[in-house]
Amino acid sequence: MDAYFTDKEIYKLRRFTKSISSSKNKNKCKNVTGVIDKTTKQLTLIAGDAPYCYICNLNLNKTSGQHKGRSFSVNAEFLIQLPLYLTKSPVLSITQEKGLIKLGVTDHTIRSSKNHPQLPGFKSYKCTEGQETHLKYIDEYQKIEGDPISKATFEMVVFLASKYDSFDFIEFDPVNKAIFIQINGHVSQVTLDENIKLTVPLILNELAVEDIKQMLDQNTDRCIHFLQRGNDLLLQGSDISITCPLAGIEEFRKKKKMLADVIIKGKIDFFALNMEVLNCKKSYKSITSGHLYISESLVSINNIGDDGDLNNEGENFTRPLTIFSIDKIEKAKEYVFRFTVKDFKNLKNLSIKRIEEIKEMLFQVTENQVGQLLLEIFKCSKSTVPLSVLSVERDDSRLKEVLALHKDYKPSQLEQPSDTDKNQHKPQGAQGELDV
């Protein structure tokens, strides 16, 4: 039996093979199962390991020979070459030999010249029986139909998700008219502009967003069917369908329920804070933690020598930081937060070069329902998602000691720097010495 492919079907096959041969999929898609449906005259290809699977439906040309319901398994490397051969000769030979399927294709890629014309070759591949897990998946997949969502809606979802460089999960919540996004394990809520209308609730990870892009690009349907089952996401179209795992979605939902309240919010010179912590870590290897003091009028970075650092008992320091504004704090309240130097040094997205480019950074301290405290750092006041997050602890037991350190300085040393001083806050020898 010869199966004839139109240009449209060859194009679909080319996009399918490109997907399964990509760097993220080639280890998962070593074999492809094909199923011929004699009723619909359709060849269905499936690759991947459940729950992450790709399905491509190819319509066989009406001039194709009589089809029989068959299934087979072919090496992905052979299948990936097929579009090249079918472009020259769009015929796939499907024969049966001792109960097994053999695929054959004419090879016009053999080098030829006017003086040395060459006849085309013929490549064939003896297939094995269809992979059982694939056949089981196709049988289950064909009984499921998700809810239709317009391509325009998915295009808006992709656009909104593209605003974030990286994320674990992103949820589009039409009820609350908000986006909930998890970055590095931390969940934030983003209020949408009034002109953006969400119509369907969706929870996606980065991989799912990439799969939606592929569905938009490869499917000719007006709608894409969408179904979320447990930790799996199913995207269906007449041309291609994809399932994508959403591992960790339950943990995301739990974290969303525990969204935190903001207890302090303001703008400070984060560069000075960052460099002081890293310089101290470099100069005093035994320092493992620091204390951040925050009040309406003063923010300072402090280290108390006997805070578990027995080799550094005599070393105490305090340094005031430039405050651009304190927008939210309980009046007459003083806070002392303890953090570990290691966690601070490992903060993501906070390279020295990046911090230098930002004059002032928005920060806020949040507390969730179980009392977990986080120092959230934003690029600017318009940012809705933290650039980085640091876990901190309330340590009011150190308040008297921190205030005592403040008293060791002359009053002028704890005054806010003038405008001419704000550009002179970089510690000597700091630049180029540390790799955040």
Out of 193, 225, 257, pick the residue that ends a domain. 257
Residue pLDDT, tens place only, 209-246: 999 998 898 888 889 999 888 888 999 988 888 988 89
Q: Are residues 191 and 303 in the same domain?
A: no
Q: Are residues 90 and 47 in the same domain?
A: yes
Q: What percent of the chain has pLDDT over 90?
A: 14
Longest alpha-carbon distance in the chain: 96
- Measured in degrees and rounded to the nearest 5, phi and psi for residue 49 equal -115, 125
Q: 413 pLDDT exceeds 90?
A: no
Q: What is the mean pLDDT of residues 293-318?
A: 72
What pTM was computed for the model? Answer: 0.65
Q: Are residues 390 and 308 in the same domain?
A: yes
Q: Are residues 266 and 389 in the same domain?
A: yes
Q: Are 353 and 343 in contact (CB under 8 A)?
A: no
Q: Are residues 280 and 347 in the same domain?
A: yes
- Of the listed ranges 34-38, 102-106, 258-262, the one predicted with least confidence: 102-106
Q: Residue 429: its pLDDT value, please?
A: 37
Q: Residue 112: its pLDDT value, please?
A: 53
Q: Are residues 271 and 371 in the same domain?
A: yes
Out of 257, 289, 324, pick the residue that ends a domain. 257
Q: How many domains does the chain have?
A: 3
Q: Residue 224: its pLDDT value, please?
A: 92
Q: Residue 106: its pLDDT value, please?
A: 73
Question: What's the CATH code of the domain at 129?
Answer: 3.10.150.10
Structural domain contains residue 70: yes
Q: What is the mean pLDDT of residues 98-115?
A: 66
Q: Residue 105: its pLDDT value, please?
A: 74
Distances, alpha carbon 113 to alpha carbons 108, 110, 119, 122, 195, in Å: 13, 10, 11, 19, 62
Question: What is the sign, positive or negative, of the torsion defined by CA atoms of 410, 414, 416, 421?
Answer: positive
Structural domain contains residue 346: yes
Residue 204: pLDDT band (50, 70, 90) is very high
User: By residue range, what is the domain housing residue 185?
Assistant: 147-257
Q: Are residues 32 and 137 in the same domain?
A: yes
Q: Are residues 175 and 231 in the same domain?
A: yes
Q: Residue 310: its pLDDT value, please?
A: 37
Q: 304 pLDDT exceeds 70?
A: yes
Q: 290 pLDDT exceeds 70?
A: yes
Q: Are 161 and 209 in contact (CB under 8 A)?
A: yes
Mean residue pLDDT of the chain comes to 78
Q: 3-state secondary structure string, the chain?
A: CEEECCHHHHHHHHHHHHHHCCCCCCCCCCEEEEEEECCCCEEEEEEEECCEEEEEEEECCCCCCCCCCEEEEEEHHHHHHHHHHHHHCCEEEEEEECCEEEEEEEECCCCCCCCCCCCCEEEEEECECCCHHHHHHHHHHCCCCCEEEEHHHHHHHHHHHCCCCCCCEEEEECCCCEEEEEECCEEEEEECCCCCCCCCCEEECHHHHHHHHHHHHHCCCCEEEEEEECCEEEEECCCEEEEEECCCHHHHHHHHHCCCEEEEEEEECHHHHHHHHHHHHHHCCCCCEEEEEECCCCEEEEECCCCCCHHHCCCCEEEECCEEEEEECCCCCCEEEEEEHHHHHCCCCCCHHHHHCCCCEEEEEEECCCCCEEEEEECCCCCCCCCEEEEEEECHHHHHHHHHHHHCCCHHHHCCCCCCCCCCCCCCCCCCCCCC
- Of the listed ranges 185-194, 261-270, 282-291, 373-382, the one predicted with least confidence: 282-291
Q: Residue 335: its pLDDT value, please?
A: 93
Residue 110: pLDDT band (50, 70, 90) is low
Residue pLDDT, tens place only, 42-81: 889 999 887 788 898 888 766 555 556 688 888 888 888 8
- Measured in degrees and rounded to the nearest 5, phi and psi for residue 208 equal -65, -40
Q: Residue 26: its pLDDT value, please?
A: 54
Question: What's the CATH code of the domain at 227?
Answer: 3.10.150
Q: Are 100 and 129 in contact (CB under 8 A)?
A: yes
Question: Which among 411, 240, 436 has a CA at the least distance from the CA of 355?
Answer: 436
Residue 159: pLDDT band (50, 70, 90) is very high
Structural domain contains residue 422: no
Q: 23 pLDDT exceeds 60?
A: no
Q: 432 pLDDT exceeds 50?
A: no
Structural domain contains residue 421: no
